[in-house]
């Protein structure tokens, strides 16, 4: 089976490739000649994932899945949420986003948070969605060099290290994107 993963993010692409069986051939947006940035104008993670999957399916006529991920911080009423990638501005700088979040939590004792990923799959004319969540907390400072985005300041529940300190295999096993991909794969087994 050939599927397009609607992303230009090479880190995300590598993370997902490690989770897929050999029977699924994964193509990136670049591989299919889609070089534009698909606008994420939705007000929810699901809406943004659907926009990207629909764009590829309608424009390129290919089966596709897309994801949108948000970091939801309890003491900030779920912010940055759907705006996680552009929390500190449209430049989408992970460093700027982490710095702003750490500043906004400077004197806050409740640092609990959750990462949530929603995947939208367009297979033929059908749309299916899958969700993955991991709870944890925002650390006081950045730690680790692995991963991307907010990984250096997010420590998952039950662990003493941030996502950026943990091996990718562990992050994929316990993480939000890994859980959503596993749900996607379980569904794909039912459709052959």
User: In Å, how far from its chain's centre is CA 141?
Assistant: 22
Q: CA 96, 164, 36, 187 torsion: positive or negative?
A: negative
* Burial of residue 187 (number of CB atoms within 10 Å: 0-12, 13-18, 19+): middle
Phi, psi of 30, deg, nearest 5: -60, -40
- Of 37, 54, 67, 68, the active-site residue reads 68
Helices 176-191, 10-17: inter-axial angle, 10-degree rounding: 50
DSSP-H helix ranges across 111-154: none
Mark residue 27 as left, alpha or beta (left: phi above 0; alpha: psi -120 to 50; beta: remaining): beta
Q: Does residue 68 carry a catalytic annotation? A: yes
Task: Tell me the C-alpha to C-alpha distance, in Å, between residue 153 and each of 2, 34, 79, 142, 166.
Answer: 35, 32, 15, 5, 12
Active-site amino acid positions: 68
């Amino acid at each position: 089976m050939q599927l397009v993963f609607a992303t230009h993010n090479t880190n995300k692409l590598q993370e997902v490739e490690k989770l897929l069986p050999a029977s699924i051939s994964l193509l990136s947006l670049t591989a299919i000649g889609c070089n534009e940035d698909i606008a994420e104008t939705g007000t929810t993670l699901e809406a943004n994932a659907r926009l990207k999957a629909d764009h590829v399916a309608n424009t390129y006529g290919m089966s596709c899945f897309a994801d949108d991920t948000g970091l939801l911080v309890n003491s900030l009423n779920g912010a940055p949420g759907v705006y996680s990638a552009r929390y500190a501005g449209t430049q989408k700088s992970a460093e700027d986003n982490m710095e702003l979040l750490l500043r906004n939590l400077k004197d806050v004792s409740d640092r609990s948070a959750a990462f949530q990923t929603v995947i939208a799959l367009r297979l033929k004319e059908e749309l299916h969605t899958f969700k993955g969540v991991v709870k944890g907390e925002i650390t006081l400072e950045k730690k680790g060099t692995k991963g991307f985005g907010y990984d250096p300041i997010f420590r998952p529940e039950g662990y003493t290290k941030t996502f950026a300190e943990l091996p990718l295999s562990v992050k994929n096993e316990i993480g939000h994107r890994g859980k959503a991909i596993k749900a996607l794969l379980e569904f794909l087994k039912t459709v052959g």
